[in-house]
Amino acid sequence: MSELAADAVQPIVLKEWAVAIRALLEGKQMMLLRKGGIREETRHFQLVSPSFYFMPTYEHQKKELVKPSFQPWVEETMSEFNAADPNVKIAAYGEVTEDIELYDQDSLDRLRDFHIWTDSFAEERLRWKKKQPLHLLLVRVFKLEEPTEIKLREAYIGCKSWVRLEDEIANARMSPVIEQHEYDDAVQKITKLLRN
């Protein structure tokens, strides 16, 4: 498995549910569905950077919002969360290869086998801010060999998708969760599903 050294990587993080990050790290999904956080500066989601670290969030994830087979993961990730901890653990890095705008339920339904969320929650994301598209991000994910702890600063808190880190993540070595050819095959399968 090839490795990537991220010493020159932009210190930008995308905030995502801890359970979704686990699914990405375990190769159970390679997509994200985004509309943007309540406190987004632009009021809608924008792909600020195609490459970023993932910062786990815990406040809004609930087991009834993910498929039954992934519900134990919600409880497991919540057991790792300590609100009093001044640090947050960064264990994953991603590179977006496709940013596809979804506008209709039919397109969303075709993706149900490729993510952990329930149909009703995915539909809720599509319907929220109806005039804005739901962004389907296809992400090649890399696992940090050694997770890095960073200070959870006040500027990182709140319902926003992106955070620019004040601290560096120096010389992070990482490996892809799935090989390039497997990723390319999955991307082709998903994009073909959406075209038909």
Span of 6-20, 45-59, 103-117, 167-181 with lowest mean pLDDT = 6-20
Average pLDDT score over the chain: 84
Token pair 């020159």 is at which residue?
A: 8
Could you tell me which residues come within 8 angstroms of residue 168 by beta carbon, excluding any fewer than 6 positions away?
11
Token pair 């960064």 is at which residue?
A: 90
Pair of tokens at residue 167: 């601290």
d(CA 11, CA 7): 10
Q: Give the model's pLDDT for residue 37.
A: 52
Q: Give the model's pLDDT for residue 156.
A: 67
What pLDDT digit, counting tens, does each position of 17-48 carry? 999 999 999 999 999 998 855 444 445 678 88
20 with 161: CB under 8 angstroms? no
pLDDT band at 176 (very low <50, low <70, confident <90, very high): very high
Helices marked H in 84-118: 105-109
- Of 7 and 19, the one with more pLDDT: 19
Q: Give the model's pLDDT for residue 41.
A: 46
What pLDDT digit, counting tens, does each position of 145-157 carry? 988 887 777 666 7
In the chain, what is the greatest distance between 2 CA atoms, to the nearest angstrom? 49
- Give strand pairing partners of 135: 34, 101
Q: Give the model's pLDDT for residue 167.
A: 76
pLDDT band at 196 (very low <50, low <70, confident <90, very high): confident
What pLDDT digit, counting tens, does each position of 68-116 carry? 999 888 888 888 877 677 788 889 999 999 999 999 899 999 999 999 9
20 with 116: CB under 8 angstroms? yes
- Of 155 and 51, the one with more pLDDT: 51
What domains, with CATH codes, occur in the chain?
12-195 (2.30.130.30)
Mean pLDDT of 163-174: 79
Distances (CA, A) of 40 to 18, 37, 120, 159, 175: 20, 5, 24, 7, 31
